[in-house]
Amino acid sequence: MTWNYRIIDFGDHLALHEVHYDEAGKPTSYTAEPATFVVDPDCGHEIVSELTMALQDATSKPVLAVGEFN
């Protein structure tokens, strides 16, 4: 199973979530809460790479409609 960050359209709002895929690459689930980016102060440099990865994931693929999940 793989995952990445995707923007999901819930009809009344959009949110960034971790989305999980099956072996065929079909989105199967997403995290209950939108993604958050919080790190300890002594690891502050790590947040930049996490945010960069999330932005690349979210902007490289189309927005998912919540109805695309079973």
Per-residue pLDDT of 8-40, as tens digits, reads 999 999 999 999 999 999 999 999 999 998 878
Per-residue pLDDT of 37-69, as tens digits, reads 887 888 777 888 889 989 999 999 999 999 998
The rounded distance, in Å, linking the Cα atoms of 21 and 47 is: 24
Q: Compute the Cα dihedral for 52, 57, 28, 35 and give only its sign.
A: positive
